[in-house]
Amino acid sequence: MLRIRLSRVGRRNQAKYRIVVTEHQNPIKGKFFEIIGSYNPEANPKELRLNKDRYDHWVGKGAQPTKTVQALYTKAS
């Protein structure tokens, strides 16, 4: 089953996240199919970049977003 989820990158105490499409069994920092966006909660205001076309493409193929990614997507729309 494919998931659209956050993958943490960045240094300690400076969290940044990639929004990736991956298998649900893969580790958080493991392999992924595609990076479709990024999220920086440390910026003021919070910075969200999301390729909505690719998000819709993967959801159409059966990928399920996590609750957090779904909330970010609705805020971006």
| pTM for the structure as a whole | 0.89
**DSSP assignment letter at 36:** E
pLDDT tens, the chain, 77 aa long:
999 999 999 999 999 999 999 999 988 888 999 999 999 999 999 999 999 999 999 999 999 999 999 999 998 87
Q: What is the pLDDT of residue 64?
A: 96
The answer, yes or no, to whether the previous bond of 45 is cis (omega within 30 of 0) is yes
How far lies 13's CA from each of 9, 30, 41, 49, 69, in Å? 11, 21, 11, 21, 21
- pLDDT 10s digits, 4-24: 999 999 999 999 999 999 999
| Domains in the chain: ranges and CATH | 2-76 (3.30.1320.10)
